[in-house]
């Protein structure tokens, strides 16, 4: 009897592969992808899906891009990997220079790591070590926003929302941090006194214990996909300066054009003391992240005990990943990316607007190349995921959120098909 290769693959997957945010019971469907081109994922059964997720927000140039492919092949011929301790190489140095050129001027020192979560861990460790070097070792805690998400490792989990986030199970073993409610001022509106007062009060009481404020500028990602006033960031910067606290911006989801600015902090004209970038950094080709900081922070930390920064990922500044980062950045900045983001934003607004009429929809919001439909109740993934696939699109909701973050190269008709599928599936949510 001939064994169907797709069935065999899925059986092996169910038996041995543990997917993210899932159980090892095979209850949620998975779909085998055999190739990807442009904005389309080709499934093993021959169906093609328009990707509305940019593979968790990183594949901004789509898939199988010839420029990206060529950059990786060229680097592979020279060197795939070399340790970064005591050695350096052109792709890392060039990428660091490009990141310094693109980000706000005070950010001059670049520490590479493997993933966004680790970039956050690095920033947190830097902040604590900075204050230790300045003789203020009591500043070992962080102030964060409720509704925030910064990753799934232990330090990063500790500054995610402790109540509504994904990590409540670990609350007793995580470092205890300080939190304030997310600002209620929406993007485009001014920040009022009541929005910033809770932050000011926490700093007034606990500044001696707080090493840094960490937040996602303008857009809170996986913690709720909320968009808040850029004016809030200006007040946060002022408070950090007044209370002698560092400011960390987590731009892992928002960096490289997603919000309509190259970095979300540009909406406010505010510079942090540290910035974490990742995801779109390599255009989705390889895992790479970076923590950028000011010379004041890097020199202070390096001049104090023990005289060096105690962190060193094995695959730090992997040459292939750095080559991908250089190619991705060049592709982005030489493209009409602002035009594309504006076009995506307009189509998302028009296409998702019908969802606002459904009684079970709490909100519809769009910023740049991000479109969000927030429902009153969580979606049933076992129901909605197959519905999206049947509609010919790849959309991966979570909790109460059905959202789109498409590749920047997506065409108008493909984007309209994505938004139409969202309206159709969200419409059906109220009938179940």
* Catalytic residue from among 63, 130, 149, 228: 149
- CA of 406: how far to CAs of 34, 104, 386, 409, in Å? 20, 26, 19, 8
* Catalytic residue from among 125, 139, 261, 279: 279
Sign (positive/negative) of CA torsion 317, 319, 321, 327? positive
Pull the structure tokens for residue 69: 């492919």
Is residue 250 among the annotated active site residues?
A: yes
Is residue 21 among the annotated active site residues?
A: yes
* Catalytic residue from among 4, 21, 305, 330: 21
How many residues appear in the chain?
A: 432
The answer for residues whose C-beta is within 8 angstroms of residue 230's C-beta and 6 or more apart is: 187, 217, 218, 267, 268
Is residue 403 among the annotated active site residues?
A: no
Residue pointed to by tokens 């520490």:
111
Q: Are 223 and 148 in contact (CB under 8 A)?
A: yes
Pull the structure tokens for residue 302: 């390096």
The Cα 303–Cα 297 span in angstroms is 10
Is residue 77 among the annotated active site residues?
A: no
The Cα 173–Cα 162 span in angstroms is 12
For residue 349, what is the enclosing H or E element? helix 337-352
* Catalytic residue from among 51, 250, 273, 414: 250
For 17, the 3-state DSSP assignment is coil
Provide the 8-state DSSP code for 398. B
The Cα 64–Cα 301 span in angstroms is 41
The Cα 419–Cα 426 span in angstroms is 10
Q: CA 192: distance to chain centroid?
A: 27
The Cα 261–Cα 267 span in angstroms is 7
The catalytic site residues sit at 21, 149, 250, 279
């Amino acid at each position: 009897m001939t064994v169907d290769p797709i069935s065999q693959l899925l059986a092996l997957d169910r038996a041995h592969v543990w997917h993210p945010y899932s159980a090892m019971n095979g209850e949620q469907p998975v779909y085998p992808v055999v190739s990807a081109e442009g904005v389309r994922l080709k499934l093993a059964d021959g169906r093609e899906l328009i990707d509305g997720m940019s593979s968790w927000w990183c594949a901004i140039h789509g898939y199988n891009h010839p420029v990206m492919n060529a950059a990786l092949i060229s680097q592979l011929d020279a060197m795939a990997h070399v340790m970064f301790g005591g050695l350096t190489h052109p792709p890392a140095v060039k990428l660091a220079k490009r990141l310094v050129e693109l980000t706000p001027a005070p950010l001059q020192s670049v520490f590479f790591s493997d993933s966004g979560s680790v970039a956050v861990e690095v920033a947190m460790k830097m902040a604590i070590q900075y204050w230790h070097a300045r003789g203020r070792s009591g500043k070992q805690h962080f102030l964060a926003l409720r509704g925030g998400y910064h990753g799934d490792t232990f330090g990063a989990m500790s500054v995610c929302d402790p109540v509504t986030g994904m990590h409540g199970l670990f609350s007793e073993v995580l470092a205890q941090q300080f939190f304030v409610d997310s600002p209620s001022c929406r993007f485009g509106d001014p920040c009022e006194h009541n929005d910033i007062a809770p932050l000011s009060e926490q700093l007034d009481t606990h500044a001696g214990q707080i090493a840094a404020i960490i937040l996602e500028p303008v857009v809170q990602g996986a913690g709720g996909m909320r968009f808040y006033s850029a004016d809030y960031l200006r007040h946060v910067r002022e408070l950090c300066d007044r209370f002698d606290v560092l400011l960390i911006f987590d731009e892992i989801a928002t960096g490289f054009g997603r919000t309509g600015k190259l970095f979300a902090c540009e909406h406010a004209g505010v510079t942090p003391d540290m910035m974490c970038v990742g995801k779109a950094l390599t255009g989705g080709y390889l895992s790479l992240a970076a923590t950028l900081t000011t010379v004041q922070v890097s020199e202070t930390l390096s001049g104090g005990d023990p005289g060096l920064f105690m962190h060193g990922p094995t695959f730090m500044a992997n040459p292939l990943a750095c080559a991908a980062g250089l190619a991705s950045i060049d592709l982005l900045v030489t493209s009409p990316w602002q035009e594309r983001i504006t076009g995506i934003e307009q189509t998302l607004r028009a296409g998702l607007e019908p969802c606002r009429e459904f009684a079970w929809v709490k909100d519809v919001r769009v910023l740049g190349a991000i479109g969000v439909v927030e429902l009153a109740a969580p979606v049933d993934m076992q129901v909605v995921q197959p519905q999206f696939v049947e509609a010919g699109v790849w959309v991966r909701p979570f909790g109460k959120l059905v959202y789109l973050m498409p590749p920047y190269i997506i065409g108008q008709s493909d984007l309209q098909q994505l938004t139409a599928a969202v309206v159709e599936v969200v419409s059906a949510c109220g009938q179940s």
